[in-house]
């Protein structure tokens, strides 16, 4: 089983655990991953920012990432 398949299974499990019954089928994987990242980082904005910038960097959004970092530093 690939890492992506394992992650999808984890996200499906998280949807069931963290969302109310009528929203489970509506919750996207992205929303669920965001929830897990927030929980994993213990709602620490700096850690969540690092995860975000790492994802943007890996996806080659370098120019956006520079602007995002500038904005974060202003906060």
Report how far residue 38's alpha carbon sits from residue 18's, in angstroms, rounded to the nearest whole number: 13
Give pLDDT tens digits for 14-69. Answer: 999 999 888 998 999 999 999 999 999 999 999 999 999 999 999 999 999 999 99
In this prediction, residue 75 carries a pLDDT of: 81
Residues 6+ apart with CB under 8 A from 47: 41
Chain-centroid distance of CA 53 in Å reads 11
Q: Within 13 Å of residue 51, how many CA atoms lie on the same side as its CB?
A: 16
| Residue 52 tokens, joined | 């975000």
């Amino acid at each position: 089983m690939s890492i992506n398949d394992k992650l999808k299974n984890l996200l499906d499990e998280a949807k069931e655990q963290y969302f109310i019954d009528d929203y489970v089928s509506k919750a996207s994987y992205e929303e669920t991953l965001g929830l897990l990242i927030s929980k994993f980082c213990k709602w620490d904005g700096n850690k969540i920012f690092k995860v975000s910038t790492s994802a943007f960097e890996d996806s080659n959004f370098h120019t956006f990432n520079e602007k995002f970092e500038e904005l974060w530093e202003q906060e």
